Structure 1
Amino acid sequence: MERAEFDRCADEYEQQHAANIGLSGESPAYFARYKVQDVARSPAAQATTRILDFGAGIGGSVPYWREFFPRASLTCLDVSERSLAIARDRYPGAVEYCCFDGVTIPFEDGTFDVAFAACVFHHIDAAAHLALLRELLRTLADGGSLFLFEHNPLNPLTRHAVDTCPFDANAVLIRARTMRERLRAAGFGSVTLAYRIFFPGALRFLRPLEPYLEWLPLGAQYRLCARRCKP
């Protein structure tokens, strides 16, 4: 999708997203919260004071950053000015909203402790992935971490949701191992992979088992944690 397409989708995004994931038995808020909580549980994020939400859209993750990282500064970055305007109206206050050109992240080297990209890269041309990952690496402090979540194309329900979603019309899902290799090629070290979301809302009582299944490539999504290694 181009910037103009994201701008056009912004006002209907929440409604379309909720309708599209109806089969999961969960709301968009559930998926936004689980990702931020996942970051908060990681040892790689324990000393976090500066967070970059890359591709923040209409700000669905903002309340959960406030919940789990109440003392950290938060920057929401996106190519869509309209999406950021909606986010700013929804969650005004101690958040920096920043539009960028889709190529260069407008912050100095080493600005952030954690960078977060939630289901963003399947909207970006694969040819641009390496350069953007290097930009994310550049903006991380030594020892900082990128948490990257993506839809798992090996999960049939995920594929159905993406194939029937209007704002995913041009999305190209990425296999976890492919994304992991791109992170390594960009210069990240210590890249770890975990699969997420195995049980729909109707089977939520089974979710305590999910930490034992993170090796199984059938989860609806996956998470990659990649570190910027200290020299």
Structure 2
Amino acid sequence: MDKAEFDRFADEYEQQHASNIRLSGETPAYFARYKVQDVAHLCTEQPPSRILDFGAGVGASVPHWSEAFPEASLTCLDVSQRSLDIARERHPGSADYCIFDGVTIPFPAGSFDVAFAACVFHHIDSEDHIPLLRELRRVLTDEGRLFVFEHNPLNPLTRHAVNTCPFDANAVLIRAGTLHERLRAAGFDRISLAYRIFFPGALSALRPLERMLTRLPLGAQYRLCAQR
């Protein structure tokens, strides 16, 4: 996780992201929103009171957390101080914005009910995945859950978007099965997988069908949910 790299792109992140995903027919806000809504859908029986947004960047998910869980406290963690400064300027008072050294999450064990990592791990060296997943497990409560969203390398449009994105220059996409194995190696239990985003904006009328396609490994992204 190269702090300098993320600091360099922070000010133009939103503009570059929007340009990079234009073929999808959607905005960055759409992709941020659907992820939080997925978490909310899976947490209806026991809404979290403490949420960790791991690799929160410039805070794209912050307003959606506030909407989905208005009573919950939100902590945004990132290695990029510039990204956190932008997030704080955009959403003052909506979260605690905390710097991360890339190794140790600066909170005691059992601090969070939900941890969330949206398209973060493809920026992290593979040898660091299991140690960081163990850290995420450590800061969850006994019944806490981790939600990891990643780009699906089996989707050709996703690969094109990543290969042409300046801030993804050093990204290494991860297959869902590989990340599933790393979650288990980190000690997580009850791991579920769902593939997401099958239809572009032009075909959004077909999106209600996506709930029947979650096992089809062709979605643009995938979601792993793991219990501590």
Identify the TM-score tier after normalising by the shorter chain: over 0.9
Per-residue deviation, 1:45: 7.0
Q: Distance in 2 between matches of 1:126 and 1:191?
A: 19
Q: Does residue 51 of structure 2 align to residue 51 of structure 1?
A: yes
Deviations 1:182-229 (A, max 9, x none): 00000000000000000000000000000000000000000000001x
Size of the aligned set, in residue pairs, is 228
Question: TM-score, normalised on structure 1?
Answer: 0.97
Query: What is the match of residue 165 of structure 1?
Result: 165
Q: Does residue 222 of structure 2 align to residue 222 of structure 1?
A: yes
Over the residues paired in the alignment, what is the CA RMSD in angstroms? 0.9
Once the two structures are superposed, the pairs formed by residues 142-221 of structure 1 within 5 Å of their partners are 142-221=142-221
Query: What is the match of residue 19 of structure 1?
Result: 19
Q: Distance in 1 between matches of 2:45 and 2:65?
A: 12
Once the two structures are superposed, the pairs formed by residues 34-183 of structure 1 within 5 Å of their partners are 34-43=34-43, 46-183=46-183
SS at match of 2:59: coil
CA distance 1:161–1:90, change in 2 (3 Å): same
Deviations 1:113-167 (A, max 9, x none): 0000000000000000000000000000001000000000000000000000000
C-alpha contact (below 8 Å) 2:133/2:183 kept by paired residues: yes
Q: Distance in 2 between matches of 1:62 and 1:80?
A: 16
Q: Distance in 2 between matches of 1:46 and 1:200?
A: 32
SS at match of 1:83: helix
Per-residue deviation, 1:44: 7.3
Per-residue deviation, 1:96: 0.3
Show structure 2 runs of 5+ residues with no match.
Answer: none
C-alpha contact (below 8 Å) 1:53/1:75 kept by paired residues: yes
Structure 1 residue ranges (4+ consecutive) displaced by more than 4 angstroms after TM superposition:
none
Per-residue deviation, 1:71: 0.3
C-alpha contact (below 8 Å) 2:122/2:172 kept by paired residues: yes
Per-residue deviation, 1:100: 1.1
Question: TM-score, normalised on structure 2?
Answer: 0.99
SS at match of 2:217: coil
C-alpha contact (below 8 Å) 2:53/2:117 kept by paired residues: yes
